[in-house]
Structure 1
Amino acid sequence: METIAAIATPPGAGGIGIVRLSGPQSRAILESLFRPSSASFAGFRPWTLHRGHVLDGDGQRLDDALVVFMPGPRTFTGEDVAEIHCHGGPFLVQAVLQSALRRGARPAQRGEFSRRAFCNGRMDLSQAEAVAELIAAPSREAVRLSLNRLDGLLGRRISHLRQQLEALRGQMCLAVDFPDEEVESLPPAAFAAAVRQVEDAVTLLLRGTKRARLMQQGALVVLAGPVNAGKSSLMNALLGRNRALVTDIPGTTRDFIEEGCDLDGLPVRLVDTAGLRESPEHVEELGVALSREQLDRADAIVLMLDGERLGQTGAAAATCPDPAAAEVLAHAGRCPLLVVWNKVDCCDPAIFPPRWAAGHVAVRLCARSGEGLEELTRQLRDLLLHDAEALPPEDGLAPNARQALALERALDELRRLRQDIETGCPYDCCSVRLDTATAHLDEVTGSNSPDEVLNAVFEHFCIGK
């Protein structure tokens, strides 16, 4: 394979910049562009930093640097790897890269270092994906989930499930090849039970998919309700700064505002929407239409109620007295909904939660003073992670979207396989579904992934990784 080179540190100025090489010519290229500072230097000692000068393409001194040579196969890529740690000015780092390229390396493509690690058996595809997700992790929990997959936890779990299916295949072959012989084969009831066991394990893995998406991409939380209920005030309180304009004039928010924040380790995208009401103004009408679109996209909805306007009678009513709030409640079946009684400094309801909101999680709040904000944050986080938190804490497995799709296809085949067994389908026909389910499990770790799939995975990586 060719020797590749790339800058492994982010763009821009920094204290240190790293240029990484991988391939059979890594050592030779490093020797040609490096001049040691020590007179006793006797060659590169593996895994040891050496100080010296890096030379440019014309052999002129370029920078004072530290270099290290790491022989394969015990490296990230499984090949010989060299790194040059120079000063982090953009020109210097680029000049060091150009020096390596002029000596025989070629520029690395996106994700090529990780792809070589995968091709050389240093990691499976789920681990390679975890590398990119770890770099992009927006929260501590996302880091933990990515590290679990990088350590091979998901790959080992898939390998164990695959072994179970292979054992079933072997026993099924006995029944097909020696139908009249007295050899031990799996009875249909035991066969179906074994398939069900693998089904349950795949289902448990899929339960972590929502958690992975929320932790990696963030949850979309829409603040909705009637005009002047305090949606913008709540957004400012959660952000800790004045982002949304707050006035006493109803309909101040005409367009939705989206900002990111952190709910105790959970990344969230807050959306402040225009109050829902019928308006003769065309601009406000457009804003209300956008608010309704955001409700359809939400992972969770915070229904803001104007406690001062509703008063005690609004909380005691059997049906929701506010048409805007009633409209938001209609979305409660599609995603989690948190009812917030705002302005408790003006009216603290004697009946809470409101009778018409029974069954929904509800909190009291004064958005302007921050009273009740901590409780709101806790309840909102619990709502978003309700399904994901049901996972055993020691499990820590959260497949990404590509892996989840492969697991869903495997699960579908396993369910159909069990149904075929229970209806008396011949074992030789059942073998087709067993093979298909196994192939879908292999897609998770990349054991049988075509180049198109690998290209789609690695093209989203940064060039230096």
Structure 2
Amino acid sequence: MSAARETPADTIAAVATPPGRGGVGIVRVSGPQSRLVASRLFLSPRPGFSGLRPYILHHGSLRAPSGRIIDEAMAAYMPGPGSYTGEDTVEFFCHGSPAVLRAVLAAAFAYGARPAGPGEFTRRAYVNGRLDLSQAEAVAELVAARGDAQADMALVRLSGGMGQAARELGLALDDLRASVCLAVDFPDDEVECLPKKSFGAGVSAVIDRVETLLAAHRRARPFREGARVALFGRVNAGKSSLFNALLGTDRALVADVPGTTRDYLEEGLDLDGLPVNLTDTAGLRQTLDAVEQAGKARGLALAGTAALGLYVVDGSVPFAPDAEAEELVAALGPDRVLGVVAKADLPAATPAPGDILAIRGLESVAVSARTGHGLAGLLTAIRTRLTRDAGLPEPETPAPSDREAACLVATRDELLALLGDIRDDLPYDLLGVRLEAASLALADITGETSADDVLNAVFSKFCIGK
């Protein structure tokens, strides 16, 4: 049963460009009254102007209900269904002043539009059949993309890649359901009855295709969500200097005074398409300072959840293990810890701290935040660690979102249970119940059976104006 798609009867408007000043700002109006709103708002200097023509940029002025000219602007009218939303849409390209955009939007409201909610333009595109739910979700992912890799994955889904994959799986399940129906309706016709061995093979083939998509989801997750990399170690080991050097900016305060970093700092870093949340934690030492103790505890807790911990040690002084650092290393395990021997521009201590880390089973990289020595190698080592069990899907291969992966898991689980029912030689009519449940879970990917609460959850993640 498909979700109801009722065409909205009202007209909405919103600023479609990010907050703040810019060269150009866009106000979008969509709905049955959008052309009427535009006729009241837009003034053309051309004699004999008869209204906005479809798919043509018109130059003119925008006026408030009081008659005051708000801005000089361009206007474009896109009649439905050939617009983004599938309904009549007008966009005004104004100067990017927040004051101007507020005034244009206020005038649009006065002329009959209402404020658009988060994602309401894209939701109307879904309702009007311009996008399936997977494509609509990809719009939000593309808007929020932090790097080329995430943008490329979103574009594959926006082009319909995930919806196509779901529909192909759905067709395979439909073929199996047809075989079940024949077996139920004509139980005595041996020609029409699909042998259960063949039926099980067909189910297994669908499961294999589902597992391939789930594997793509798991491998792509770090590229989609980013990974936390936390620097930890004793005070004055060089963590904050390294933090600044990796970011290429003086983000963290650096001083020789122990306890300078009293709380964690976090900044984004792009590692060749892999988004990383780089975190600098407070230095570890015994202290009676309550604020420093609290900051240290927060840093340790955060580092414990990191995809990778950078254990920073000072390479110019003899290695001195810290109990809390050692406890964190043990908790993360060697696969999630990379040693960093800092201050490589200074004479090395004896024995070398890197050798001691190696004895403890930790790979390490020697770096100098001051000269830049070893930084490129460290970044390569970080990316290699983070992508050891991850990787971008092949071009044109869809990587499901978390929501879509949940639908695929539900589909797979029903089909695995169906294989058990086949082995138990259950009758075909009961097998058909499992197939129906798997088909419904799969259809939720494109929104064919999605309930309102699912749709609300998807579109609530959008910004206003998209």
Mark yes or no: TM-score above 0.5.
yes
Judge which range, 250-259 or 264-273, deviates more.
250-259
Task: Note the C-alpha offset of 1:293.
Answer: 0.8
Q: Is the 8 A contact 1:4 1:107 kept in 2?
A: yes
| One-letter identity of the residue aligned with 1:139 | G
The answer to whether structure 1 residue 81 and structure 2 residue 89 are counterparts is: yes
TM-score by length of 1: 0.88
Task: Note the C-alpha offset of 1:156.
Answer: 0.9
2:24 corresponds in structure 1 to: 16
Candidates 228, 238, 241, aligned match of 2:249: 241
Structure 1: any 5+ residue segments left out of the alignment? 315-320
The answer to whether structure 1 residue 356 and structure 2 residue 359 are counterparts is: yes
Candidates 149, 154, 164, aligned match of 2:172: 164
The answer to whether structure 1 residue 378 and structure 2 residue 380 are counterparts is: yes
Cα separation, partners in 2 of 1:280 and 1:442, compared to 1, 3 Å: same
Distance across 1 between alignment mates of 2:364 and 2:201? 43
Q: What CA deviation, in whole Å up to 9, does each residue of 1:65-98 have, x standing for no partner?
A: 2212111111111111112222232232222223
Task: Note the C-alpha offset of 1:354.
Answer: 4.8
The answer to whether structure 1 residue 388 and structure 2 residue 396 are counterparts is: no
**SS across alignment from 2:313:** strand
Judge which range, 215-224 or 376-385, deviates more.
215-224
Q: Is the 8 A contact 2:315 2:354 kept in 1?
A: no
| One-letter identity of the residue aligned with 2:442 | L
Structure 2: any 5+ residue segments left out of the alignment? 1-8
The answer to whether structure 1 residue 329 and structure 2 residue 368 are counterparts is: no
Equivalent residue runs for 1:237-316 within 5 Å: 237-248=245-256, 250-276=258-284, 278-279=286-287, 282-310=290-318
The answer to whether structure 1 residue 25 and structure 2 residue 27 are counterparts is: no
Q: Is the 8 A contact 1:29 1:100 kept in 2?
A: yes
Task: Note the C-alpha offset of 1:357.
Answer: 4.4
Q: What CA deviation, in whole Å up to 9, does each residue of 1:35-69 have, x standing for no partner?
A: 32222544432101112232321345433222121
Distance across 2 between alignment mates of 1:59 and 1:90? 20
**SS across alignment from 1:445:** coil
The answer to whether structure 1 residue 58 and structure 2 residue 59 are counterparts is: no
| One-letter identity of the residue aligned with 1:378 | T
Cα separation, partners in 2 of 1:143 and 1:46, compared to 1, 3 Å: same
Q: Is the 8 A contact 2:315 2:353 kept in 1?
A: no
Task: Note the C-alpha offset of 1:213.
Answer: 4.4
Candidates 189, 193, 197, aligned match of 2:197: 189
**SS across alignment from 1:413:** helix
Task: Note the C-alpha offset of 1:450.
Answer: 1.1
Q: Is the 8 A contact 2:341 2:365 kept in 1?
A: yes
**SS across alignment from 1:207:** helix
Cα separation, partners in 2 of 1:276 and 1:414, compared to 1, 3 Å: farther
Percent of aligned positions that are identical = 48
The answer to whether structure 1 residue 106 and structure 2 residue 114 are counterparts is: yes
Judge which range, 151-160 or 230-239, deviates more.
230-239
Distance across 2 between alignment mates of 1:42 and 1:222? 62
Distance across 1 between alignment mates of 2:152 and 2:405? 18
Q: Is the 8 A contact 1:276 1:291 kept in 2?
A: no
1:365 corresponds in structure 2 to: 367
Q: Is the 8 A contact 2:354 2:364 kept in 1?
A: no
| One-letter identity of the residue aligned with 1:450 | A
TM-score by length of 2: 0.88
Q: Is the 8 A contact 1:19 1:84 kept in 2?
A: yes
Cα separation, partners in 2 of 1:305 and 1:203, compared to 1, 3 Å: farther
1:418 corresponds in structure 2 to: 419
**SS across alignment from 1:2:** coil
Q: CA RMSD in A?
A: 2.7
Q: Is the 8 A contact 2:156 2:398 kept in 1?
A: yes
Task: Note the C-alpha offset of 1:272.
Answer: 1.5
**SS across alignment from 2:263:** coil
**SS across alignment from 1:145:** helix
Cα separation, partners in 2 of 1:14 and 1:275, compared to 1, 3 Å: closer
The answer to whether structure 1 residue 339 and structure 2 residue 347 are counterparts is: no
Cα separation, partners in 2 of 1:96 and 1:194, compared to 1, 3 Å: same
2:446 corresponds in structure 1 to: 445
Distance across 1 between alignment mates of 2:35 and 2:257? 70
Q: What CA deviation, in whole Å up to 9, does each residue of 1:139-166 have, x standing for no partner?
A: 2222111111111111111111111111
Q: What CA deviation, in whole Å up to 9, does each residue of 1:170-229 have, x standing for no partner?
A: 112222222221224333333223222222222222233355543344321111234443
**SS across alignment from 1:297:** coil
**SS across alignment from 2:410:** helix
| One-letter identity of the residue aligned with 2:372 | G
1:318 corresponds in structure 2 to: none
